[in-house]
Amino acid sequence: MTLAANSPTSFPPSTTQRRPSPPPRRSASTSTLGISLVTLAAMIALWFIAARFGWASPLFLPSPAEVLTQFSAVWADGYANGTLLDHTLASLGRIAAALGVGIFLGIPLGLLMGLNRWVKGIFSVPIDLYWGLPPLAYLPLLIIWLGIGETSKIVLLSLSTFAPICFAAQAGVRSVPAERINAALSLGASRLQLFTSIILPSALPEIMTGLKIAIGAGLSTLVAAELIAAQSGLGYMIMSAANFLATDVVFVGLIVIAILAFAFTSGMRWLERRLIPWKGKL
Amino acid sequence: MLRIHDASVTFPASDGHDVHALDHVSLDIAPDSIVVAVGASGCGKSTLLNAIAGFLPLTQGTITLDGKEIVAPGGDRGVVFQKDTLLPWANVLDNVALGLKYRGVRRSERHERSRRLLELVGLADFAEKPPYELSGGMRQRVGIARALATDPKILLMDEPFGALDSLTRETMQQLLASVWAKTGKQILFITHSIEEALTLGTTIVVMSPRPGRIVARFEADFVREVARSGDIGPIQSHPRFIELRQEIRSLIHQPEGARTGTLQ
């Protein structure tokens, strides 16, 4: 062969398929932030106007000023056997305990269910059965079994946070691309290394999604359970206030719950950005 | 030396007619050679690679690497996949170092070795980037570096440039020729491009589908020229290249009934 003369070869990074880097940062969320703030301000303004011009009786719609007054009163003097902080902490303690149980049981069991046919076959039956039931339907049973104290409520909440976390961990294991596993095996990964370096991180985005669902499920079950059977907590405070038509206290309770829910959602978003910035990237 | 002896892979099919993805294939891959398997879809070339990698059990026959029979995936065979399989949570350097980490190589040493490999594939400046900020071609270079990091006996490449645009593809072919010339690795390369097969192969095996068989085998050394000159342009207009291309093309496009045995 008589071919082109010797020439040193170097391989500069090709630019033909280069994506703009770094990728655009969540521009959608920053661009809607202003709109959302204006909407929130408009809703509060509407509330002011409606109360000011007496569109509804103060019994049904207390004015923002009344709610604010009541807020500081409940904060300082308390309502229904406790201050606002007591009720909030009681509720938070329950949900924290339930999330703890859900995470520490749900993630390992879900991972095992994703990895092993036997574990999946055995545990999916009871979980599927109870997860289909509305939690409040079996709360009376839990109260009969465990009494009216904290145990029955924490078990109820744990059941509602456990299932979504467990399902998510299981789905996470199953979502690992087969090629990624083959690649690790051909690089000489042991079974344990395969699990810790490939399967677990690959399942993390699904687990985070499950955690978000669990927080939502936990929060709604929590308040509902406290409405029915509790001596403390935000749900209990709201129910006690409603019995005396203290609508302003009901509003205080609702606002605190809304703030908590918002804080959970923001916290999870922050955690996702920290833990899995690569989600959906590859 | 990789030795494939009388290898068959049969998949049960729902209609009762088993699919003979690989049918009594025998092939030796000598050290310091690039064997390229080329053929139409379904000719069993990927099945062959997956069997060598240990991802897929043989129905019949044996594959041995340096006398040791292959039964499972292992670090002695580096695999480069068509779809890149880099870990998005690790940066480029840690991706290359993954196999070394599995072997318990110290962090400083595996990083040093990985940096050298990134230099070899021209990505030294991208070590700290996450893989998703790289182009498709660059990600495949990381894949090649990663497969080389554990110093495997053979590199198995399953249509690694198939998803790249044609310009990037040419750059990658030059890169592979140069990497091969520098490292002397034996390589099994799967492609459906006849030009790619001739550009890169020291041995080209033509495969045919239903059942998957080797129908012809050619020797070539265009790849040495590519490695020397760093340019794939000149060889592709070489008369021998054009002649072989035509011959392989007619073998691949031959109607299935007209094929008779192997032309080895």
Nearest CA in chain B to A193: B102
Length of chain A: 282
If you ran DSSP here, which 8-state letter would residue B259 be given? -
Contact residues, chain A, for B178 at CB < 8 Å: 9, 11
- Per-residue pLDDT band at A10 (split at 50, 70, 90): very low
The pLDDT tens digits for B45-83 are 889 999 999 999 999 999 999 989 998 998 899 999 988
Whether B126 shows a pLDDT value over 70: the answer reads yes
Q: Which of B199, B177, B187 is nearest to B78 (CA)?
A: B187
The pLDDT tens digits for A107-155 are 999 999 999 999 999 999 999 999 888 888 889 999 999 988 889 999 9
Q: Which of B30, B23, B29, B28 is nearest to B6 (CA)?
A: B23
* ipTM for the complex shown: 0.87
- In the numeric block, the tokens 């036997």 are attached to A118
The CATH classification of domain B2-76+152-253, taken from the options 1.10.10.60, 1.10.1660.10, 3.10.129.10, 3.40.50.300:
3.40.50.300
Residue A17 · residue B172 · CB < 8 Å? no
What is chain B's alpha carbon radius of gyration, rounded to the nearest angstrom? 18
Whether B194 shows a pLDDT value over 60: the answer reads yes
Q: Check CB contact under 8 Å for B137 and A187.
A: no
Question: Of B84, B95, B96, B98, which to mutate for an interface test with A (greatest number of A Cβ within 10 Å)?
Answer: B98
| Whole-structure pTM value | 0.82
Q: Which two tokens stand for residue B236?
A: 């592709």
Would you list the DSSP string of chain A? Answer: ---PPP-----PPP-TTPPPSSPPP-HHHHHHHHHHHHHHHHHHHHHHHHHHTTSS-TTTS--HHHHHHHHHHHHHT-SSSS-HHHHHHHHHHHHHHHHHHHHHHHHHHHHHHHH-HHHHHHHHHHHHHHHTS-HHHHHHHHHHHH-SSHHHHHHHHHHHHHHHHHHHHHHHHHTS-HHHHHHHHHTT--HHHHIIIIIHHHHHHHHHHHHHHHHHHHHHHHHHHHHHS-SSSHHHHHHHHHHTT-HHHHHHHHHHHHHHHHHHHHHHHHHHHHH-TTTT--
Whether A275 and chain B come into contact, CB under 8 Å, resolves to no
Q: Which two tokens stand for residue B125?
A: 């400046």
Residue A193 · residue A133 · CB < 8 Å? no
Beta-carbon count within 10 A of B244 CB: 20
- In the numeric block, the tokens 């495969």 are attached to B207
Q: Which helix (H) or strand (E) holds B222?
A: helix B222-229
| CB crowding A119-137: b at 16 or more within 10 Å, else e | bbeebeeebeeebeeebee
Whether A162 shows a pLDDT value over 70: the answer reads yes
Q: What is the Cα–Cα distance from A117 to A96, expressed in whole angstroms? A: 31
Name the pairing type of β-strands B186-191 and B34-39.
Answer: parallel
User: Across residues A188-215, what is the average pLDDT?
Assistant: 94
Q: Which of B2, B138, B22 is nearest to B78 (CA)?
A: B2
Whether A209 shows a pLDDT value over 60: the answer reads yes
The pLDDT tens digits for B19-40 are 888 889 999 988 889 999 998 8
- In the numeric block, the tokens 């998510």 are attached to A168
Q: Hey, CA dihedral for B154, B158, B162, B163, is it positive or negative?
A: negative
pLDDT of residue A20: 45
CB pairs below 8 Å between A and B: how many?
Answer: 143
pLDDT of residue A15: 44
pLDDT of residue B229: 86
On the CB side of B255, how many CA atoms lie within 13 Å of its CA?
2
Q: Which helix (H) or strand (E) holds B193?
A: none
Residue-averaged pLDDT of chain A? 87
pLDDT of residue A19: 46
- Percentage of chain B modeled with pLDDT above 70: 96
Nearest CA in chain B to A191: B102
Q: Is B153 helix (H, G, I), strand (E, B) or coil?
A: coil
Whether A8 shows a pLDDT value over 50: the answer reads no
Nearest CA in chain A to B229: A6
The pLDDT tens digits for A210-253 are 999 999 999 989 988 888 878 899 999 999 999 999 999 999 99
Q: Which of A223, A224, A108, A92 is nearest to A165 (CA)?
A: A108
Name the pairing type of β-strands B213-219 and B203-208.
Answer: antiparallel
On the CB side of B215, how many CA atoms lie within 13 Å of its CA?
26
- Nearest Cβ partner for A9 among B54, B164, B230: B230
- In the numeric block, the tokens 């950005």 are attached to A273
Question: Of B55, B80, B82, B87, which to mutate for an interface test with A (greatest number of A Cβ within 10 Å)?
Answer: B87
Domain ranges of chain B: 2-76+152-253, 86-151
Closest CA–CA distance from residue A200 to any residue of chain B (Å): 12
pLDDT of residue B15: 79
